Every structure is written in structure tokens, then in C-alpha cells.
A and B are shown apart, each in its own frame.
Chain A
Amino acid sequence: MRFERREHRSVALVIATPVLAVLCALALAGVLIAVAGAPVMEAYWRILVGAFGSRLSATETLTRASPLILTGLAAAVAFRARLWNIGGEGQFYLGAIAVAAASSHLLGGLAPAVQIPLLLIVGAAAGIVLLLVPLWLRLRFSVDEVVTTLLLNFVAVLFVSMLIDGALKDPMAFGWPQSQPVADAAVLPKLLARSRLHIGLVIALVLAAAVHLLQSRTVFGMQSRAAGLNATGAVFAGVPLSRTLVKVACISGGLAGLAGALEVMGVQGYVTKDLSPGYGYSGIVVAMLANLHPLGVVLAALFTATMFVGADGMSRSMGIPSYIADVTVALSLISMLVGVFFTQYRIRR
């Protein structure tokens, strides 16, 4: 048995792959649910109901999808250029804490129309800084950025933990380690009354479209794809590799930082150590499920958010650990990898 490269990749196959991958992951996770002694179909039905069954749960799922779209885009943009940014989690937290600090100490007095855009820039900038460090280490010392971005996640979370337990600690929080809240003028407008859904979703959708245009219609988009497909070839063809990677890092780190900023300004209002249930890491799965396509990221983020929100409800009523959502999402990543392979290769005996 051997593998032979396909001459043509049919569009239908490419579109069907993520669907098949998700179905495959759901089937495998179903085995785990069955082993736990629960009826599988009912569990999945409860997940769906938990995620979309009521106005509250549907808005909650969309609220959860917004940061996932952004961290997914962050990973997709970087991976396209073979910049392995696994540091989304750290960039998310740094963006969040930067916004909390800036709003509670510097910009708190400004009107919303000025303060909100400024804070979003601050959050994005914090994420960018955290990604430029590993990129610099790669360009200057040839250090693989996978490991450095991963390690910096731990550093960033500890840094945030230090601030919310020290310099930025909220004195009104009864001793809990949480940051001072952002100013009232920094709170994002809601999309729907009586829900947590805020305009962060719109920002995320607009940015997904913008990234798509940037990648498909501009010289920079072409250069970043070339850098990912074949770095030496790209340099030979006159692509300024370092400069392209710096730009990619700015977009990627900025998106992840922005995700953290929006989460603070739109949902929680202050930073705690559990602000992110692994948004940075899930972003990687979202990007891979979307096959790194910016518009696909939106759908993949929706799927991931559905699993997480739905599994919470299902777990309470059926006694299946809610970690089943993490397992399903991880399995869908692995099945997607295999699926993409078979859109490119066929088996020959």
C-alpha cells in the first residue's frame, strides 16, 4: 500500500472534509459516552439543546464563539505563513490585563467613543509584543517558536496572576485575586438586551472578512502564503521573509490580544485567572478545522463554542464529565488532519 498525490482536489471533497472530520470525532466521543453508561444520542441531543435550546443559551454560545473566532484567526493567519504561534493563550491574557490596567488607571475618564477604540488598540498591542519576542528569537537565534510561544503562555499567565494579586488588585473584591474593573465608559455595547452578547461578535466577523480579503487580494497576502509554502523559494522570488513574518506576527498577536481585550470589556469587566477556558489553545483547533481559511474559522468557532456550552448543560443533567467537549474538539482536530491528507493523496496498492 502506498500513497499517491492527487492531480486534482475536488471542491466537494475539500468542503466535505471538515464535516466528515467532525462526524468522525463525534462518533469516537460517542464511544466514550457509551462507555460511561449514558445514551449517546440523547447526550448529543442535550448538547444541542444546551447550546441553542433557549434565547439565553443561544446568545451564550455566540458570546463564547466571538473570542474563538479571533484566536482561531490568529492561529490561521500565522500557520498560513508557517509561523507557529501557539502562544494565543498568553497573548489573550496580556491583551486582557493591558486593557484593565489602561482603563482603570489611564484612560478611564475618556468618553466611550474615544476610550473603546483606544483600549482595543492597547489590547492588540500587548498581544503583538508578546509574539514579537519569540519571532525575534527565531530570526536572531534560530529558536523554534513553537516551544518559546508555549513557554511564554505560562509566563504571561503568571504575570497576570502577579498583577491581579498585587499592583492591579481590586481592593473591593473581598481579597479575591481579580483586577480593578474597567471604567463604565469602556464597557462594550450589548447586541441584545438581557444577554451577555456584545458587539465583539460583530468585530470578530468583520475581522474575519478583512483577513480573508487581505490574504486573497493583496501582495502581502500572497507573500505570507509564499513564506508558508516554501520559505527558500519565496526568498528567491524576492519576498522579504523577515519583514513578512513581522507583519504576520503583528496580525496574529494583535488578534489574540484583541480577543482578550473584548472579553474583559464585553463580558467580565475585570480580569481573573480563569478569564479564558483555554481560548488560545482552542483557537489552534478552530484554525485547523477551518483548514486555515478565515471564513471557515467562523463556522469552526461556532462548532467549538456549541460543544463547550452544550456540554456544560449536558454534563449537569447526565453526569458525563464536561471534559467530553475538550475530547471531541481534540479528536476533530486529529480527524481533520487525516481528512486533509486524503484530499491530497489517494491510496494505491
Chain B
Amino acid sequence: MNAVIDIFASAGLWAAVLRIATPLILGTLGALLCERSGVLNLGIEGIMTFGAMIGWLAVYNGADLWAGLLVAALSGGVFGLLHAALTVTLGLSQHVSGLGVTLFASSFSYYVFRLLVPVAGTPPTIEPFQPIVVPALSSISFIGPALFTQTPPTYVAIMLALVLGYVLFRTPLGLAIRMAGENPHAAESQGINPMMMRYGAVIVGSALMGVAGAFLTLSAFNSFFPTMVQGRGWICIALVVFASWRPGRALIGALLFALFDGFQLRLQTVLNGVVPYQIFLMIPYLLSIAALALMARRARVPQALMQPYRRGER
């Protein structure tokens, strides 16, 4: 019991929470934006993998870190365009199309990586984002290191959650996106083009997923290796449901999730040898399933989610 208290009392845990949460925040916001417009984007896992690879590759070849993030965002947008063409224009099954995008994007990233980066004993590394230590504020106990020693993309992610919340619920554009996801026929009758809204939301949402992946290689770690995304994309899809499709709650959900994750990582070292480490690694996935079971009935699903829209067809 004391060990548990020690973990929660350590500043390291609280500093780690935001770092673990950042890719989840970005990915969840991306998936949330897509789903608010009525398109489930299961391409997320592959798009994150590709973003992680291409962002790292850009920086490895001499690009600026921010340029790396931008490249990852652009690549995400391109995969988003593909997903939108399949699901919005053609109206194909969003499940299968998303899985297709994931399979393609992840295998394509491994192919490109293997082709351009020679096999080596230790994977090549880059110089990742450094934490900004805010003077004075960062020395406040607990809150200081947790909030004021993060890398710049983390702050960007938190701001994006607020911006997305504002855009979706306080602007005409947000209303139009949400209408496309709730009732595209009604949206059309109001002079809104639901197809355009869905295209835009899926492309921008996928760009966020690309950045989420790039955070892993440009800030959390400093190298790329296959399977490094490890289901984070699927966890984001679960977090969207947990957040009931609201950006603010997505932020809180991702932070809660990261708190559990950071806690189990530290508990692992305490209970090393007593409990197999695999048990701890299972926790994030089991937690996501539990969160889904808890929230699925209560959450307000966008009414037209997964329904293709065809003009003049009901």
C-alpha cells in the first residue's frame, strides 16, 4: 500500500502523465472530429504509424522538428483523403475501408523505412523536442514539473482540444460539421454540403492522427521501429466513445488514461518479479474495453455515424 502512495507522491509520475497523454489527446481529437461529421476512421492506427515514420524520416534527413510534424500532418491528410474518397464519395463500409487504410498505411511505412534506412544493430536516432522548463512555475511542487516541464507539442495538443471544442460548439462551421454527422439530409436542406463537411473533417482529423504518431518519434522517443504505435490508435477510438464525442472530455479521458498507464509502469518496477509484467501491459487495453462497456449506452452517438450519404437517396 505504501508503495502505491509513494508512486502517486512522486513528481515523476505527474510529469509523465502529460507526456503519455499527448499522442492520445491528438489521436482522440482527430478521431472525434471525423466521427462528429459522420465518418468512423479506423485508419487511425496506420495513419499514426505512417506519421511516426515520415515525421522521423524528415527530421533524420535534416528537416526541422516542426517541419517533421508538418510532414506527418500532411501525410495524415493524404490518407484521410483516401478514406474520405472511399467512404464519402463511394459510400463504402467505414469499418472495412478504415481497416484497409490501416493495413496499407502501416505496411507502407515499414516498406519505406526499410528501404531508406539501412538495417543496423542500434536504430538510428534524432535529436527530439526538448522540454520547456518554465522558470519559477516549474519549481512548484507536483503541479510544477507536471505542467511546466513538457515539450512544445504537448502544449499545442492541449490548446487544440480547447480550439476544437470551441470550433465544434461555438461556430457556424462546427454546427455544419455536426449536422453532417447527425442528419446530413437536414444539413443539405439548409444549404450545407454534407459531403464537403465530411471530406474536410476526415482530412483534418487524419492530419491530427499523423501528428499524434509523429509525437512518438519526435518527442516521446527519438527513433522509429515497427509496431511502435501498439494499439494506441484503437485506444483513441475507445476514448472517443468514453468522451461522448466531446473534445473537453476527450482531454480529460486521455489524461485519466495516461495517469493509469504511468501508474502501472511504475508499479511494474515495484512489483518486479512478483507479478508478470505482461499483466501490467494488458491494463491499458482492458481499461479501454471497460470504459467502452461503461459508456457505450450513455454516450450520445452522432446519429448518422457510419451511414453513407447519397444525394437523393434515403
Contacts and interface: CB of A to CB of B under 8 A. Distances in A.
Interface of A: 2-3, 32, 36, 79, 84, 86, 137, 141-144, 146-148, 150-155, 158-159, 161-162, 165-166, 281, 284-285, 288, 320-321, 323-324, 326-327, 329-331, 333-334, 337-338, 341
Given A324-B111, A334-B100, A334-B104, A151 B92 contact: no
Interface stretch (B8-16, B204-212, B290-298): B290-298
Nearest to B94: A146
B95 interface: yes
A330 B238 contact: no
Given A152-B289, A154-B230, A154-B231, A159 B92 contact: no
B238 A285 contact: no
B90 interface: yes
Nearest to B311: A2
B278 A159 contact: yes
Looking at B92, B100, B110, B296, which has the most chain A CB atoms within 10 Å of its CB? B100
A137 B100 contact: no
Given A143-B296, A151-B289, A159-B282, A337 B99 contact: no
B28 to A, nearest CB: 13
A341 B92 contact: yes
- Of A137, A158, A159, which is in contact with the most chain B CB atoms at under 10 Å from its CB? A158
A84 B95 contact: yes
Interface size class of B (residues with CB under 8 A): 35 or more
27 contacts: A36-B115, A79-B96, A86-B99, A143-B296, A146-B42, A146-B95, A147-B237, A147-B292, A148-B289, A148-B292, A151-B286, A152-B285, A153-B231, A158-B281, A162-B279, A166-B276, A321-B110, A327-B104, A327-B107, A329-B107, A330-B104, A331-B104, A334-B82, A334-B86, A334-B100, A337-B93, A341-B90
B45 to A, nearest CB: 8
B277 to A, nearest CB: 8
Contacts of B282: 154-155, 158-159
A155 B289 CA distance: 11
Given A151-B238, A158-B281, A321 B111 contact: yes
A332 B82 CA distance: 14
A159 B285 CA distance: 12
Contacts of A151: 231, 234-235, 238, 285-286, 288-289
Interface in B254-297: 276, 278-279, 281-282, 285-286, 288-289, 292-293, 296-297
A333 B100 contact: yes
A285 B241 CA distance: 27
Interface in B73-120: 82, 86, 90, 92-93, 95-97, 99-101, 103-104, 107-108, 110-111, 114-115
Q: Across the A-B interface, give the 8 residue pairs with the lowest CB-CB distance, nearest first.
A: A326-B107, A321-B114, A162-B278, A330-B103, A330-B104, A323-B111, A323-B110, A158-B278
Given A137-B289, A152-B289, A32 B111 contact: yes
A329 B103 contact: yes
A166 B107 CA distance: 32
B110 A155 contact: no
B30 to A, nearest CB: 15
Interface string B191-212: 0000000000000000000000
Contacts of B108: 327, 330
A331 B82 CA distance: 12
B111 A284 contact: no
Contacts of B241: 144, 147
B285 A147 contact: no
Nearest to B87: A337
Contacts of A341: 90, 92
A281 B293 contact: no
Contacts of A137: 289, 292-293
Nearest to A160: B278
Contacts of A158: 278, 281-282
A152 B278 CA distance: 14
Contact of B96 (A143, A144, A288): A288
B267 to A, nearest CB: 16
Contacts of A152: 285, 289
B40 to A, nearest CB: 8
Contacts of B300: none
A77 to B, nearest CB: 15
A141 B276 contact: no
A63 B86 CA distance: 34
A161 B104 contact: no
A3 B310 contact: yes
Given A162-B279, A320-B115, 13 more contacts: A137-B289, A143-B293, A146-B42, A147-B234, A148-B292, A154-B230, A158-B281, A288-B100, A327-B107, A327-B111, A333-B104, A337-B86, A341-B92
Contacts of B310: 3
B5 to A, nearest CB: 27
Contacts of A327: 104, 107-108, 111
A333 to B, nearest CB: 5
Q: Find the residue from B93, B104, B230, B279 having the highest chain A CB count within 10 A.
A: B104
Given A158-B281, A323-B114, A337 B293 contact: no
